[in-house]
A and B are shown apart, each in its own frame.
Chain A
């Protein structure tokens, strides 16, 4: 009787949730399961051609593939850039725009502008700017040093650093907003109490601002981890993973193996790796970063 009553009580809510759950299952879970399944097959991407089961062979090949390890190293570079360049700059800009300064809206808009420009346009723009023969940077430096000629995206030794810095330029505005939201949620009386206790500028930031912003920092780190793994557009437009796979990233690696080399099973393997790594990274970040009261 009680069970029947409970079921009847939950029936209508379940029915209401059914369409959205079905949509999530179809649009989210089904592709994930299908991709993981495909990673155990060899398939040339023709629907009429049956996939061939090969077990863990794709994974064996993946972990022996130099391009894969290069892409992992490059993800590491994006993460380091996020921790040491993008994060600190975004934090400083957030501190800046949270002040009541005349014209602050103009600065907010300017810093945020790269975020709203399509990444494809940004990639093409920076490709022109970094061109060794007639790009803005080389031309500007040649005013002082006529012999200067650096191929920022054609030199395999430095191409990835160029792209990483462009990425920092794009996303610093977005992260500035995330940090700014965290800053504005900190009660002002905490700072007042700290001032009474003798805390000044940098100590206030260290003892109040940063601990109280842990949730924002957590969001930033999770976005940085998942964003680094998903990086695609900028690299695709600027270098397509070259020169010599020096700028390869996992998402682009997956795309090229799937659509250029028609190794759909192998592409699914890379996709599965990105999914699992992203999940693990997010779980770790979530577990070990928490807001201190």
Chain B
């Protein structure tokens, strides 16, 4: 009897040991070994409302997987120049971040060409629900002549015109629908001693606006024509838009000393009720909420006025995917862990929580729940996008293959608003393209 009991115990012990081994084999390797993921982002502490939510989401992930350490690194700054410089330095030293935020397009094209970035096609095939949870705005992470999707959209935006209805009423003016109405309104404000649409001299502000104007005057084909070199920046199209900005500047639409005004001041002027209009992305409500929430209900949001001679292009503007996330190819376990982190950050549950903490950033994840505490202005801006289904394109230089073209174009516009001519500015851009060695 004793021998039988011992034998039975031995069998039971062996069976339980085998089951542990079997269970251990089902756990992916990345969940059992120490993994470090470095995450480069633009949402910095003390600057961005999304810093708290995203770091909480990361903490949730590392609590679930204590073997994974996520080092969060953020570079704030409205013009994202320093962010890109940090990213490029990391790439040059062969120490690229495992996951990093970016806007896709030309700024990451060279990384894709070098095989640095992970093609997410296989991940989407393995998890179609994850792919379908995103808005269909992967275009900035897909490239002509290359298969694959090299990133996911995270946030979404459009460039719109915010109008301070109190100031419009004060001067008995109507919200403009066309460019000629816009110019009339601006002239009236200038006559009354009010700067109609103060604008910063920072290059990205003008590059964004030029993109919207190009969409409304020439349509999206111009973007592809510039990228495939069948049209030039010194051509009639881009020159006319540049000259239009200079003409408006000469009329006093943007105020004085714009070269010295930064975009934060520009936003603050509107948010504090000092300027009648601001043409900017759908992130402006955040600035209003932080500085002057009473203004929210006194602001009307509309698409930027369309060209009188091109009503058929009224539906075009700058926008689409905003911030996206890319993964750098590393060893299989680190890459697998990073994919898991990316899925966690873009899950409906995580994004819904983030959105509730920062209810003014449109996310490109359709399964996330729009927060109830979203301010009325952001809701109206998002309704514009969803109801009117505009044709949106990202910044005009993003469709090119030249990585530095974005900086060249932005600097050219900044220089133009500081005193150079439209010809000089566009020539600088075209010279850069012409001297490019593939």
Contacts and interface: CB of A to CB of B under 8 A. Distances in A.
B167 interface: no
A153 B259 CA distance: 8
B142 interface: no
A242 B257 contact: no
Interface string A118-144: 000000000000011100000000000
B111 A260 contact: no
Contacts of B260: 131-133, 151, 153-154
B414 A46 contact: no
Interface string B147-170: 000000000000000000000000
Given A243-B201, A243-B415, A245-B415, A49 B114 contact: yes
B116 interface: yes
Nearest to B420: A244
Contacts of A156: 415, 418-420
A246 B84 CA distance: 23
B362 to A, nearest CB: 29
B57 to A, nearest CB: 29
A272 B20 CA distance: 63
A46 B328 CA distance: 12
Contacts of B110: 44, 46, 49, 262
A224 B261 CA distance: 32
Contact of A151 (B85, B89, B257): B257
Interface in B256-280: 256-261
B259 A151 contact: yes
A47 interface: yes
Interface string A225-252: 0000000000000000011111000000
A48 B259 contact: no
A38 B171 CA distance: 61
Given A47-B91, A48-B94, A243-B415, A261 B257 contact: no
Contact of A243 (B81, B403, B414, B437): B414
Given A149-B256, A151-B257, A259-B88, A242 B414 contact: yes
B187 interface: no
A154 B91 contact: no
Interface residues of B, number: 36
Contacts of B16: none
Interface stretch (B60-68, B126-134, B338-346, B404-412): B404-412
Interface in B369-404: 403-404
B145 interface: no
Contacts of B26: none
Contacts of A52: 437
Contacts of A45: 88, 91-92
Given A151-B257, A154-B257, A54 B437 contact: yes
Contacts of B408: 261
A61 interface: yes
B312 to A, nearest CB: 36
A47 B94 contact: yes
Contacts of B257: 132-133, 149, 151, 154
B418 A244 contact: yes
Interface in B403-438: 403-404, 407-408, 411, 414-416, 418-420, 432, 435, 437
Given A61-B435, A133-B256, 7 more contacts: A46-B114, A48-B94, A133-B260, A151-B257, A151-B259, A154-B259, A261-B403
6 contacts: A48-B116, A154-B201, A155-B259, A156-B419, A242-B411, A261-B408
